[in-house]
C-alpha cells in the first residue's frame, strides 16, 4: 500500500524533529497520526486563527467579556477539542497522546497563544477525568464533548484550583499544608456544598463543566483536598468577572463563585482527600510539558515575524544582511530547538507512562462493551462505588509506578520553566533589535511578548517549577503518591 505524500508542514516537522523520523521507521501509523494532527492545526491557523488574532487581541482589550464563539466552532472542524479524549471513545488521545498534544499546541501557539490556550484550557479541564476517579464520566461528559464537536457546538471545560489567597500554594504538597484557603466543600447528605471563589481560571467564563479542587476541611487542606466535577448550571454557581489581561486575550481568565453549590457524591473524582495526587500532581506531570510547548510555539511565532521584518528593505538595506541580525536569528533557532527538545523529552516519557494506559487490553475490553451497557444504572453505580473506584486505582497501580510518575513531574516542570523563560527572552531580544519600527511585524512580536509573559505564571509559577524540579531530582523531598484502593 503506497503512502500518501506528506504535506509541507509534515516535511518541515520531520526535518526539524529527527526523532519523529526515527519513530516513523518503527511505527509509521502512529507517527502519521501525529503528523495529521499537526497538519490540521496548521490549516486551522492559516484559515481561522491568524486572520483573526490581532483583531481579537485588540477587541478584548476594549471589551474584556468578548469571546469569539465562531472561532471555537471552527476548531471543532479540526477536532481540536478531542486531543485529550481517549481513542477508545472516539477521541484522538492514543499511545502518543502527549507527543501529539505537545506538537499540536506548539503549532497552534505559533499563530496565537491566546487562541491556542482557548483550546488547551478545555484539554486541561478534562484531564482530571483521565485519572482513575474520572472513568465514570467518560461515557457522559467526554461523550458529550465529542457529540458537541461533531455538531460544531463546542462543549468547553476549565480547571479551577487557584484561589484569591492561594495560588502557587495549592500546587505543591508542603505549601498546601500551610495554605490560607478561602474555599471549602462541606459534606452533606448525598454530596457536598461548595462555598468560595476560584480566580484566574482559563476559560472559566465559557466552560460548561469545571473540575474544581477544594478542601473538605480548611484546617487540614492537604489531607482533605478533593476534586469535584461542576456543571455551570448548578444552582449557586456564577462568574462575577473576567480579568483585563495583558496577553492571551482570546482566552478569558475568570473569577468563579460558588455559593452553596450542591455537588452530588457521583461528581467526586476518586476518593475524598486524594486530590493532591490525582487532582494536582498527576495533572501537572502531564500538563506542564505542554505549557513548555506553548512557549516554544510563541518563540517560533516571534522568529517568523522577526525574519519577515528583517528581510524587508529599509533605507536601501535589509537588516537580515547584518551579521548581528544573522547571529540573533541563529540564537533564536537554538532556543527554539532547545525548548522543543525539553518538551519532547517530557512528552515521549509521558507517552510511555500514560499511553500504555489507554491502549491496555483491559481498557479496550471495558470499552468494547456496548455504550448502552456502560451508561446503564448498574454499571455506572458500580463505577461510582468504592469497589469501582478501587478497581480503577488498582489498574493505575498495575500499569504506572510512582517512580515513573515522579520522574515525569520533574521533566514537566523543567520543560515548563525553561521553555517559557526562553519564549520571553526570544521575544524581548526581537523587540530590542526591531527598535521603534512601527510596522505590522512589530505588532505581532509585541503581542507574542505579552502572550509569553503569562506562561511564566500559570501551571505554577516558574519559581515553583524550579523548586519542584530541585525537590525531585536533587533534594529528594517530593514524590507523587498514587491513590491506594480503599
pLDDT per residue as tens digits for the range 148-168: 999 999 999 999 999 998 888
SS3 315: coil
For 122: left if phi > 0, alpha if psi spans -120 to 50, otherwise beta; the answer is: alpha
459 Cβ contact list (under 8 Å, min separation 6): 284, 287, 288, 291, 416, 465
The C-alpha atoms of residue 389 and residue 157 are separated, in whole angstroms, by 23
Contact predicate 386/486, CB 8 Å? yes
What tens digit of pLDDT does each residue of 379-426 get? 999 999 888 888 888 888 888 899 999 999 999 999 999 999 999 999
Torsion sign across C-alpha atoms 300, 306, 309, 312:
negative
DSSP state of 485: P
Look at residue 1 and tell me whether its pLDDT is greater than 70. Answer: no
112 Cβ contact list (under 8 Å, min separation 6): 45, 49, 50, 53, 56, 57, 250, 301, 447, 451
What tens digit of pLDDT does each residue of 50-102 get? 999 999 999 999 999 999 999 999 999 999 999 999 998 999 998 899 999 99
Domains and CATH numbers, the chain: 8-156 (1.10.540.10), 158-275 (2.40.110.10), 276-475 (1.20.140.10)
What tens digit of pLDDT does each residue of 24-40 get? 999 999 999 999 999 99
C-alpha dihedral (411, 461, 335, 6), degrees to nearest 10? 60
To which residue does cell 544573522 refer?
326
Reported pTM: 0.95
The C-alpha atoms of residue 396 and residue 454 are separated, in whole angstroms, by 33
User: For all residues of the chain together, what is the average pLDDT?
Assistant: 93
Amino acid at each position: 500500500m503506497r503512502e500518501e505524500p506528506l504535506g509541507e508542514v509534515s516535511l518541515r516537522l520531520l526535518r526539524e524533529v529527527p526523532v519523529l523520523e526515527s519513530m516513523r521507521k518503527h511505527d509509521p501509523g502512529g507517527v502519521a497520526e501525529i503528523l495529521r494532527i499537526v497538519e490540521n492545526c496548521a490549516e486551522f491557523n492559516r484559515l481561522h486563527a491568524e486572520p483573526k488574532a490581532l483583531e481579537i487581541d485588540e477587541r478584548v482589550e476594549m471589551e474584556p467579556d468578548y469571546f469569539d464563539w465562531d472561532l471555537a466552532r471552527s476548531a471543532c472542524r479540526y477536532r481540536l477539542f478531542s486531543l485529550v479524549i481517549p481513542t477508545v471513545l472516539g477521541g484522538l488521545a492514543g499511545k502518543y497522546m502527549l507527543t501529539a498534544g505537545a506538537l499540536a499546541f506548539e503549532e497552534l501557539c505559533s499563530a496565537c497563544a491566546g487562541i491556542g490556550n482557548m483550546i488547551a484550557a478545555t484539554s486541561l479541564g478534562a484531564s482530571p477525568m483521565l485519572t482513575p476517579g474520572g472513568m465514570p464520566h467518560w461515557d457522559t461528559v467526554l461523550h458529550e464533548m465529542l457529540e458537541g464537536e461533531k455538531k460544531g457546538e463546542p462543549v468547553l471545560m476549565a480547571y479551577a484550583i487557584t484561589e484569591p489567597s492561594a495560588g502557587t500554594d495549592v500546587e505543591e504538597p508542603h505549601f498546601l499544608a500551610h495554605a490560607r484557603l478561602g474555599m471549602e466543600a462541606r459534606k452533606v447528605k448525598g454530596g457536598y456544598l461548595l462555598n468560595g471563589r476560584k480566580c484566574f481560571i482559563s476559560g472559566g467564563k465559557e466552560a460548561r463543566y469545571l473540575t474544581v479542587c477544594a478542601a473538605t476541611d480548611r484546617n487540614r487542606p492537604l489531607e482533605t483536598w478533593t476534586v469535584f466535577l461542576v456543571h455551570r448550571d448548578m444552582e449557586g454557581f456564577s462568574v462575577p468577572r473576567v480579568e483585563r489581561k495583558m496577553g492571551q486575550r482570546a482566552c478569558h481568565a475568570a473569577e468563579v463563585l460558588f455559593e452553596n453549590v450542591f455537588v452530588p457524591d457521583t461528581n467526586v473524582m476518586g476518593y475524598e482527600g486524594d486530590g493532591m495526587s490525582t487532582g494536582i500532581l498527576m495533572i501537572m506531570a502531564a500538563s506542564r510539558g505542554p505549557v513548555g510547548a506553548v512557549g516554544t510555539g510563541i518563540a517560533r511565532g516571534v522568529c517568523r515575524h522577526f525574519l519577515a521584518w528583517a528581510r524587508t528593505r529599509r533605507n536601501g538595506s535589509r537588516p537580515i544582511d547584518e551579521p548581528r541580525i544573522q547571529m540573533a536569528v541563529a540564537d533564536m533557532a537554538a532556543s527554539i530547538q532547545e525548548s522543543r527538545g525539553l518538551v519532547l523529552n517530557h512528552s515521549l516519557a509521558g507517552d510511555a507512562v500514560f499511553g500504555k494506559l489507554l491502549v491496555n487490553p483491559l481498557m479496550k475490553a471495558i470499552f468494547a462493551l456496548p455504550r448502552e451497557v456502560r451508561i446503564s444504572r448498574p454499571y455506572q453505580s458500580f463505577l461510582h462505588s468504592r469497589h469501582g473506584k478501587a478497581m480503577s486505582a488498582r489498574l493505575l497501580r498495575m500499569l504506572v509506578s510512582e517512580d515513573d510518575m515522579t520522574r515525569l513531574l520533574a521533566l514537566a516542570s523543567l520543560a515548563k520553566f525553561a521553555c517559557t523563560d526562553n519564549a520571553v527572552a526570544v521575544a524581548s531580544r526581537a523587540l530590542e533589535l526591531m527598535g521603534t519600527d512601527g510596522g505590522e511585524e512589530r505588532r505581532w512580536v509585541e503581542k507574542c511578548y505579552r502572550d509569553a509573559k503569562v506562561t511564566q505564571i500559570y501551571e505554577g509559577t516558574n519559581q515553583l517549577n524550579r523548586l519542584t524540579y530541585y525537590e525531585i531530582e536533587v533534594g529528594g523531598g517530593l514524590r507523587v503518591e498514587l491513590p491506594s484502593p480503599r
